[in-house]
Structure 1
Amino acid sequence: MAGLSTPKQKISALIITYNEMGYIEKCIDSVSFADEIIVVDSYSTDGTFEYLKKHPKVNVIQNPFENFTAQKSFTLKQASNDWILFLDADEVVSEALQKEIVDTVNNPNACEAYWFYRKFMFQDSTLNFSGWQTDKNHRLFRKSKAHFTDRKIVHETLEVDGASCILKEKLTHYCYKNYEDYKGKMLRYGQLKAKEDFYKEKHFNYILMVVKPTWKFFNHYVLRLGILDGKKGVTICYLNALGVLERYRELKRLEKKNELAYYLVMP
């Protein structure tokens, strides 16, 4: 009697978006091999939602954005399949990585989750250093074996019940479209990190507001060789440090707002 063949594992590709025109088109094309593509949009105003609505392979849902962890957890619940490929809208899966993903999920000895190293793109050229050369993220995992921890609201963290492995092929990350776009992104991240700190009852500190951004720039530009990326390295390292500075500015604003509210309700 011939042995039964193992059924092909299905993959759900998940993405969250907000004003991602110029990024999302490449991302969607690169995950067209998935069995379903679900995008949760935070009420984009630049045509992203309209583009996705018309796309024949995409199921797009709109949901208000609270924070990255909440949005990704909501998106994960929409998936029909156990194997999840969760991308950011500015990430692209190469043909070689597509093949590795399909082969991996159909391997009976597959791990429960996989880290992806990323190749960073500054517009259309590679960013080789500037602190990103060892960056890796969970992007492929079993829904039944993983969830996003609610202890972080930005740079969301996946908790895995089981083993995590690393794929060989890199994910391409188009991190930098233009100066204002990247600056806005870093400021938003900084503000969310401040909220995270505030909820954890961490307090504003003037010394940290000076030291932390300075260290961020020095670490990424000098120690992690951003200087070898030329002008691109200066720009990226400066804006990353600006995001750290914004974190402390926002924490200070939140504390002042909280103090004002306290005095207003005092009898």
Structure 2
Amino acid sequence: MPNPKITTLIITYNEMDYIQKCIDSIDFTDEIIVVDSYSTDGTYEYLLHHPKVKVIQNPFENFTSQKSFALKQAKNDWVLFLDADEVVPEKLKLEIKSTIENTDCAAFWFYRKFMFQNKPLNYSGWQTDKNYRLFRKSKAKFSDKKIVHETLVVDGKSGILNEKLIHYCYKNYEDYKSKMLKYGRLKAKEDFYKENYFNYLVYILKPAWKFFNHYILRLGILDGKKGLIICYLNALGVLERYKELKRLEKKNELAYHLVMP
């Protein structure tokens, strides 16, 4: 029986600092498709001339819609879905290939090893982080109920791989800050559509709890300066979420009064 074929899917926007390392680590897969949301830093041009990559440009609406679009492009049933700043190490490659040869699982969770400017980030809330990264296209889809930190709905059993995926989460301060603010604004849209209303108490307490939880309870303090920076910026993303929710509610209220006679 021939080995199952794998399609790797990646979505990108201005990932030139990471994409080459990511692509090099997935040369064992049979198809590589990247959906780019009109990068301006050379990412698209690099991918366009890469002999092993098919790149498609598609406007970014949110993470769920972009990943759902990418999933439709895959030819193979087994899909490895990576972020552009993730790398598959050699031992994980071997585990992936041997696992899908004989399994009744429809999807697999991956644990991740977080890297802060090429140095390990061991705590700060990430030590138990795991995500779906490998699954059968015919048995899974992205839920339309979330637009950030998208949720995969799996029809069947799930397993967990032992080897960790490497995630280069932190390039520099401004890049990570921009990412957290973007996530916060998308979460606010999610809240707004679900009719979760702005609350001043939540606005004050949630960011403070996020920092305390990750820096103290989840041992970010043991990561030194790295942990302090990551935990602060994660809390800043939560603060941005509720600031944006308040802004969306005001905008909606203004629009309502403008159309009322």
TM-score by length of 1: 0.97
Q: Match of 1:147, SS? A: strand
Deviation at 1:39, TM superposition (A): 0.2
Q: Match of 1:202, SS? A: coil
Q: Which amino acid aligns with 1:215?
A: W
**C-alpha contact 1:9 1:105 (8 A) present in aligned 2:** yes
CA distance in 2, matches of 1:20, 1:178: 13
Q: Match of 2:7, SS? A: strand
Choose from 92, 102, 106 the match for 1:97.
92
Aligned residue in 2 for 1:182: 176
How many residues matched?
261
Instruction: Confirm or deny that 1:58 pairs with 2:53.
Output: yes
Deviation at 1:34, TM superposition (A): 0.6
Aligned residue in 2 for 1:149: 143
Instruction: Confirm or deny that 1:128 pairs with 2:122.
Output: yes
Aligned residue in 2 for 1:79: 74
CA distance in 2, matches of 1:8, 1:66: 36
Over 2 Å off, 4+ runs: none
Aligned residue in 1 for 2:223: 229
Q: Match of 2:183, SS? A: helix
Q: Percent identity?
A: 77
Aligned residue in 2 for 1:36: 31
Aligned residue in 2 for 1:214: 208
Deviations along 1:161-216, one digit per CA (max 9) or x if unpaired, are 00000000000000000000000000000000000000000101111011000000
**C-alpha contact 2:104 2:157 (8 A) present in aligned 1:** no
Deviation at 1:110, TM superposition (A): 3.8
**C-alpha contact 1:203 1:251 (8 A) present in aligned 2:** yes
Aligned residue in 1 for 2:21: 26
Q: Which amino acid aligns with 2:77?
A: D
Deviations along 1:97-125, one digit per CA (max 9) or x if unpaired, are 01111111111x34110000000000110
**C-alpha contact 1:104 1:110 (8 A) present in aligned 2:** no
CA distance in 2, matches of 1:62, 1:104: 32
Q: Which amino acid aligns with 2:166?
A: T
CA distance in 1, matches of 2:158, 2:176: 30
Instruction: Confirm or deny that 1:246 pairs with 2:240.
Output: yes
Q: Match of 1:242, SS? A: helix
Deviation at 1:259, TM superposition (A): 0.6
**C-alpha contact 2:5 2:76 (8 A) present in aligned 1:** yes
Deviations along 1:69-98, one digit per CA (max 9) or x if unpaired, are 000000000000000000001100001101
CA distance in 1, matches of 2:76, 2:120: 34
Aligned residue in 2 for 1:3: none
Q: Match of 2:80, SS? A: strand
Unaligned 5+ runs, structure 1: 1-5
TM-score by length of 2: 0.99
CA distance in 1, matches of 2:75, 2:61: 23
Instruction: Confirm or deny that 1:261 pairs with 2:260.
Output: no
Q: Tell me how large the CA RMSD over aligned residues is.
A: 0.5
CA distance in 2, matches of 1:57, 1:249: 43
